[in-house]
Amino acid sequence: MPDANQRLNALRAGEIDMIFSVPLGLVQTLEKTPGVKLYTGKTATTMGLPINNQRGPWKDIRVRKALGCYGINRELIAKTALRGLTQPWASFSAPAARDALDLTAECPFDPAKAKALLAEAGYGPQNPFKFAMPIQNTDPTYVDIAQIMKTTYAQMGVQMDIQLLDRATWVSQFVLKRATDMTIQDTLPTFDLNSASHTFYSKT
Residue 96's pLDDT is what? 75
CB atoms < 10 A from the CB of 115, how many? 19
User: Per-residue confidence at 201, pLDDT binned at 50, 70, 90?
Assistant: low
Residue 80 main-chain phi, psi, to 5 deg: -105, -65
Positive or negative, the CA dihedral 137, 141, 145, 147 is: positive
According to DSSP, the residues that pair with 161 across neighbouring strands are 132
The mean pLDDT of 158-162, rounded to a whole number, is 98
Global pTM reads: 0.85
3-state secondary structure of 198: helix
Query: Terminus-to-terminus CA distance in the chain, angstroms?
Result: 32
Q: Output 128 or 42, whichever has higher pLDDT.
A: 128
On the question of pLDDT at 78 being above 70, the answer is yes
* Mean pLDDT of the residues in the chain: 89
Cα–Cα distance for residue pair 91/94, rounded to 1 Å? 7
% of the chain surpassing 90 pLDDT:
58
**Within a 10 A sphere around the Cβ of 194, how many other Cβ atoms?**
13
Is 204's pLDDT higher than 60? no
The percentage of the chain sitting over the pLDDT mark of 70, rounded to a whole number, equals 95
Rounded distance, CA 81 to CA 160, Å? 18
